[in-house]
Amino acid sequence: MKVLFTKRAYAPMGGSESLTYQWATRLAERGHDVRVVCCQAFDERPRFTDRGVDIVQVKPRGGFLGHVADASTLVDLMRVDELERYAEDRDLIHNVGREYLDSSLSAAHELDLPIVLTPLAHPGQFHGGDTPADFVRYRRATVITTMTDWERAWFGEQGVDAYRVITTGMGANAIRSHDGVEFRARHRIPANAPVILYVGRRERYKGYIHLLDAAELVWQRHNEARFVFIGVPGFYGTMIDEFARYTDERIIEIERAGAAEKSAALDACDVYAMPSAHETFGIGYLEAWLHEKPVIGGDIAPLREVIAHGVDGLLVQQKVADIARAVTHLLDDPALRGEMGRAGSAKLRDRWDWDRVMDRVEDAHLRAIGAHVPVDEALA
């Protein structure tokens, strides 16, 4: 198949960015002809090949101000004529994360191509992708892919044909590390100090502030505990530096970390916590399970499908006291932490092995191509 992915940023790190990266490179490894059109791929070359993927960087409309607006909001400033230029030899277009949704739909319409959407909607969140206008767009998709069956049912409740919605999920975006001891040494963490790890963009909805504030309560019982936060500031984190309130050496902030450093942190930690109030899936939980670590997530519908409460992790309300109680409970019981980590690792292998995920992605693409009725045939 000749596939075109559209995404604002394309990179091996991040959430939706890394999802697109994994899908594109793994499809290329399977012999498909894969191209990505994006605004930012963190490379000076406007067009280059990486791991078999043809990557094209297109500057958005509006010059410098357009670039700023395109990078910081959900305004779609992709140049549709440029997008069509790189899509005209494709079998389908696959848009991930809604960022270039309108331009992708326009290009698919003009070129009479099937289009696959992976909206990654966050119902109830500002710009979460759940407005009536969003569903007008979704109904134009040939196929929609989702991360969970809950999300698939949600689209069905909104009138989207169930046949056109396929749950793919995702795999872990990390390599199993055994460098936890070195990570602790680099960051002056005592060998016997428990580590609570957060990895994710610093957005308020993800609960990093609540986890930060829970530290004071956890320290009442586990005085040596270290709270490690890895992730670049999101919009909220750029405006307000919540870490300025804490000068305690037991709070460790790492704004930017490569894949090896992140994996080493996962190996070093005792508990992974991201008590998010809005999440489509949460790849960080899978990465923690890859390292056999228990997880703490937000008690929301999508995460109830990912995390089995009391089996491979804990689900909590996004409240400081609840988060502190969950962290303390896990730190109190090393045997329980081990059991949960192993249960999560087994679930990861069974449900979200990358080969199985990519089989489902290929099925979505084949279904889109098979279901698409060209305009000339529809009018015949």
Q: What is the pLDDT of residues 55-71, one digit of tens each?
A: 999 988 877 777 766 66
- Structural element, H or E, at residue 166: strand 165-167
Residue 378 has pLDDT above 60, yes or no: no
Collapsing DSSP to helix, strand or coil, 367 comes out as helix
Q: Are 56 and 78 in contact (CB under 8 A)?
A: no
What is the number of alpha carbons within 13 Å of residue 68 lying toward its C-beta?
3
Residue 207 shares a structural domain with residue 154: no
Residue 236 has pLDDT above 80, yes or no: no
pTM for the predicted model, two decimal places:
0.86
Contact indicator for 134, 248 with CB cutoff of 8 Å:
no
Which CATH number fits the domain that encloses residue 35?
A: 3.40.50.2000
HSE at residue 214, side-chain half, CA atoms within 13 A, is 29
In terms of C-beta density within 10 A (0-12 exposed, 13-18 middle, 19 or more buried), how is residue 49 classed?
exposed
191 and 337 housed in the same domain? yes
Q: How many structural domains are present in the chain?
A: 2
Share of the chain above pLDDT 70, in %: 94
Residue 15, pLDDT > 90, answer no
Q: Are residues 362 and 346 in the same domain?
A: no
Q: In the structure, what pLDDT confidence band is assigned to residue 235 with cuts at 50, 70 and 90? A: low
156 and 193 in a common domain: no
Residues 191 and 331 in one domain: yes
pLDDT digits (tens, 9 = 90+) for 252-291: 999 888 889 999 999 999 999 999 998 888 889 999 999 9
Q: Which residue has the tokens 């270039």?
A: 100
One-letter amino acid for residue 186 of the chain: R
In this structure, the answer to whether residues 339 and 233 fall within a common structural domain is: yes
Average pLDDT over residues 326-352: 97
Percent of the chain with pLDDT over 90: 74
307 & 369 share domain = no
Same domain? For 299 and 364 the reply is no
Return the bridge partners of 315, or none. 297
| Parent domain of 257 | 180-351
Instruction: Give the residue-averaged pLDDT of 211-226.
Output: 97
Average pLDDT over residues 194-222: 94
pLDDT at site 72: 63
Confidence bin at 376 (pLDDT 50/70/90) = low
What SS3 class is residue 299? Answer: coil
Average pLDDT over residues 149-160: 92
Question: Residue 377's pLDDT band (boundaries 50, 70, 90)?
Answer: low
Please report where in the chains the tokens 């992709």 appear, as a residue. 78
User: Do residue 217 and residue 162 come from a single domain?
Assistant: no
Does 321 score more than 50 pLDDT?
Answer: yes
Mean pLDDT score of the chain: 91
pLDDT tens digits for range 85-114: 999 999 999 999 998 999 999 999 999 999
Alpha helices in the chain (DSSP H): 16-29, 63-72, 80-87, 101-111, 132-138, 149-157, 180-186, 208-219, 235-239, 259-268, 283-290, 301-306, 320-332, 334-351, 354-371, 375-379
Based on the domain organization, do 216 and 157 belong to the same domain?
no
247 & 150 share domain: no
Residues 42 and 111 in one domain: yes
